Chains A and B, each alone.
Chain A
Amino acid sequence: MKAELRGNTPPISLQNPNLFAAPQNSLSGALRGCLGNLDGACIEKLLLHCASALESNDVTLAQQVMWVLNNVASSLGDTNQRLTSWFLRALISRASRVCPNTAATFSGGGSSGGVPRRLMTVTELAGYVDLIPWHRFGFCAANSAIFNAIQGCPAVHVLDFSITHCMQWPTLIDALAKRPEGPPSVRITVPGFRPPVPPFLNVTSEEVGLRLANFAKFGDVPFEFNVIEDSSLPTMGEIISKESCSIYFESLLSRLNLSMLNIRDDEALVVNFQNWLRYLPDDRNGMARNMSLRDAFLEVIKGLNPRIVVVVDDYSDLSASTLTSRITTCFNYFWIPFDALETFLPKDNHQRIEYESDIGQKIEDIIASEGLQRIERLESGPKLSQRMKSSGFLSLPFVEETVKEVKSLLDEHASGWGMKREEDMLVLTWKGHNSVFATAWFPNGVED
């Protein structure tokens, strides 16, 4: 039975009326296309309808769309179905934000949506980051750029801001150990604070440092590991609420100075941002000198006069203010890792499910949270480049050697992974879609 439009259809006011060809048959027309089969485009439409229904307080419509989505969603289905289940969950979570107070009674005082926090062992994490080259791409490009930048330096100090708990460094340490002129002495400093996002480890940063130290020892690499302590941080067992992230970021920022970091004269300073800058608030309203915390962070970093700053993050813009545009972007972006996992892991593989669950938490944050609670404030590669330039950094292109290294890394993975260059960025692609970008910078030497 084909759906036909009869009678008067009052137009729906939606967030993005441009979404549909003609306002008259907005909802029905879009849904008409869905009646054939529920494919990705259709699901996206349904999600958007649900979102706009929520935004316009149309509860009944929201319920109905959710009901349909619920039937599509399946955590063990195909890529679209799995994605849908996480999106639906996020929408429901959004819908249930009754009032701010109740958020405090939810887990961790933040909207982690109640997905249980999964703690991994270090070895599990090592496997996790290599499941797909999503992280490994950034590690490889960054480490190669760092290696080249510190050639000839007897000492190097890495300021590591990342969410992968130092998984990046074994390969760099290994490469440095084999340096013809001998390894430099290596110091790695990590902040005591880390945004409350997966992957979570079941051990402290200190222990991670110990293991690294152990590893370095066997490579005869003089090694030190430091954690920037912050007594205001909660102890390990407690969960940091998302709203309080910016406070901890500020606190961290105040500790980023030469004396507190104990930066020595002879060492080359390397700053590594891996999936990190996105969590710094970017609100300029009412800030001093019209600089957001993110800008301020970069300014401080520049002041430390690092030899090289590498920035790696997902290639997507998740900072849009409207829910509907975020949904569209997210749905089409997170399809990429889901699809990559689908190509070589079976539907019930637990690693795959866990990886998807972590992405699901990101989705939840992007869709369900607003304001300070939404900590996933990712900006795309080009935008980030713009910001770095405005903050007084110059782009450091990747040399051919690095490009080759990355290419051969990707060759060892499933076909479908590719790489391209966009200006001075290296971009990881999956089936042609941009996934992760890697960039390198150095301060332009102009003192502000």
Chain B
Amino acid sequence: MVELDISSPMTVSTASGEASVTSSGNQTGPQPVAPTKKKRNLPGTPDPDAEVIALSPKTLMATNRFVCEICSKGFQRDQNLQLHRRGHNLPWKLRQRTSKEIRKRVYVCPEPSCVHHDPTRALGDLTGIKKHFCRKHGEKKWKCERCSKKYAVQSDWKAHLKTCGTREYKCDCGTLFSRRDSFITHRAFCDALAQESARGGQVLPSTNTEENPEIEKAVSSSPTAFTPSATVLSIQSPGAEISENPVGVLQQAPAIISLSTTGTATSTSSSSSSSSSTSVFASIFAPSTTPVASQPSSTFSDFICAMGRSECSTTLPLAASAAEPTLRLSSASLYLSNTTSSLFPNPDQSHRHYAPSPQPAMSATALLQKAAQMGAAASNASLLRGLGLAMSPPPSSAQLDSSGSSSSTQWSGHVKGDSNPVGAGLGLGLPSEGVGGGPALTGLMMGGGPSSLLVNKPTTLDLLGLGIGPGGASTPGLSALLTSIGGGSLDLAAAGSPFGVGGAAAEAAPDLKHNGSALL
């Protein structure tokens, strides 16, 4: 039996199936072809002995990978081959498969651009990698007639046919589901159901579902059945009564139906359960209307809208009634619109320097070179700005874009939006958003007193809180990095100072310069 076993970390070599058959045809046992096994830790599978196997596309797609070394008969599965080999009456020794059995195998995709080409992203079983290769890189020959979805693997296509259009669940609110569990979950919480109960009327699950008759039975139960089956209790902390007398709470219940959507009860006292229950009861019928807009909140939401950018799908905490407008700005950091207003990436294309393609615009080599040059940024200008100039055309910049000053608020919740060179320390090429330095990062960096921290570095805490002494430990790492990059002009005058504030330790520079020139 012959299998192709070649594995290595970065350079995955492939060999054709045929070659392996002939070359190892005269081996006595199923010996692997001297692979350099790379022990990789796989996600979730802490198996350092997993053997990484790379097969050629041809081998992957071959249907008869397992070949008997005695008669050269091919089989689709290893088990079948083993069964067959037994028939040859092999001597005991040759029958053993030895170490092969024990070692776990993982497979990488032969397609170099594929994410599964990376051994740490290998797939656990052969069928899996075959299917993956077929699906991702193969031709999609199978097509569903109903929805014209295309599949490369026949079994996928068959599986799809089973479910396509055969079952559909429709909620009263109009949403369609193809799976029952998601339908049930949605329905339990859907406003449509809440409204149904408000009307105390029919709850007919929508058409063409296999919704069960029990639900329909419930329909005919009178509204008085409401009370015994639905109670909501709050267990008070010790000292108060343990639980409300169900009757006591239930007296609230009939009131539900008559409660209109009169906005939230702004009952701030949450100590008595009944009053809070009432407010909660009232509010469940308001969900589809305005999100709880009690007095304090309305101005609040305006404020948030002003803070955020475009659309404002604000959903405010329901019990905002209990919380006064003393909500800190921090808790006002709601995620408003669809666009992530995070520090980094900004889906708003206009802000992104690399808008057209998310790929790094520079090759890895260039990146590392540039990184080395970072240390050479101008001295008194913020390192940040220096980067901005060196790296890319300013305003719109890379992924560390902070889209507008509002986002800086969201980053740290209380930032003064104006810039200051604090963000320089990290030298991350934040755009000069009109003003020097990245406003967002500034907020991030310093909770308070940024300038003081900036001014007085090496001896006290530095920007990164690392307490670096003057001249620090930057030398070894930097030089090693640089030597690996292979040079480039290395003016590292400012290298010693993490802040790029002038007058840094220049002791690092001479060594590095020396190295640098040697490399060139």
Contacts and interface: CB of A to CB of B under 8 A. Distances in A.
B118 A40 contact: yes
A236 B371 contact: no
A229 B235 contact: yes
B235 A332 contact: no
Interface in B283-317: 283-284, 287, 291, 315-317
A386 interface: no
A235 B375 CA distance: 49
B137 interface: no
B342 A235 contact: no
A150 to B, nearest CB: 18
Contact of B364 (A6, A36, A202): A36
A26 interface: yes
A418 B232 CA distance: 39
Interface in B468-520: 468, 472-481, 483-486, 495-496, 498, 515, 518-519
Contact of A89 (B217, B343, B446): B343
A403 interface: no
A96 B518 CA distance: 36
B169 to A, nearest CB: 12
A40 B121 contact: yes
Given A60-B474, A117-B333, A211-B189, 5 more contacts: A54-B466, A119-B317, A119-B335, A139-B181, A220-B229
Given A26-B480, A333-B43, A57 B472 contact: yes
A214 interface: yes
Contacts of A139: 181
Contacts of A232: 237
B190 interface: yes
A101 interface: yes
A291 interface: no
A269 B202 CA distance: 34
Which range contains the number of A residues in contact with the other chain?
35 or more
B170 to A, nearest CB: 15
Contacts, number: 500
A405 B80 CA distance: 30
Given A66-B428, A236-B317, A332-B42, A226 B465 contact: no
Interface string A208-238: 1111111111111111111111111001111
B445 A209 contact: no
B364 A107 contact: no
A247 to B, nearest CB: 15
A59, A126, A415 — most chain B CB neighbours (10 Å): A59
B439 interface: no
A37 B370 CA distance: 16
A66 B475 CA distance: 17
Contacts of B145: none
Nearest to A56: B473
B9, B190, B196, B453 — most chain A CB neighbours (10 Å): B190
Given A66-B426, A67-B428, A119 B484 contact: no
Nearest to A25: B484
Interface stretch (B18-26, B28-36, B93-101, B355-363): B355-363
Interface in A64-85: 64-68, 70-81, 85
Interface string A39-67: 11110100000000110111111111111
A353 B234 contact: no
Contacts of A115: 342, 410-411
B44 to A, nearest CB: 3
Contacts of A324: none
A412 B444 contact: no
B275 to A, nearest CB: 12
A421 to B, nearest CB: 14
A431 to B, nearest CB: 5
Contact of A209 (B232, B270, B342, B461): B232
Contact of B315 (A32, A37, A202): A202
Interface stretch (B56-64, B69-77, B81-89, B320-328): B320-328
Contacts of B466: 54, 57, 59
Contacts of B410: 114-116
A129 interface: yes
Contacts of A316: 43-44
A38 interface: yes
B10 interface: yes
Interface stretch (A151-159, A258-266, A275-283, A304-312): A258-266
Contact of B115 (A79, A116, A117, A120): A79
Contact of A75 (B131, B345, B447, B498): B345
A260 B238 contact: yes
A438 interface: no
A331 to B, nearest CB: 8
A293 interface: no
B203 interface: yes
Contact of B447 (A93, A105, A328, A434): A105
Nearest to B485: A3
A335 B331 contact: no
A13 to B, nearest CB: 8
Nearest to B246: A224
A237 B334 CA distance: 11
Contacts of A95: 426, 464-465
B185 interface: yes
Given A70-B400, A219-B215, A41 B477 contact: no
B273 to A, nearest CB: 8
B114 to A, nearest CB: 10
A71 B362 contact: yes
A218 B190 CA distance: 13
Interface stretch (A166-174, A295-303, A389-397, A440-448): A166-174
B331 A58 contact: no
A322 to B, nearest CB: 14
B447 A117 contact: no
Contacts of B13: none
B429 interface: yes
B215 A218 contact: yes
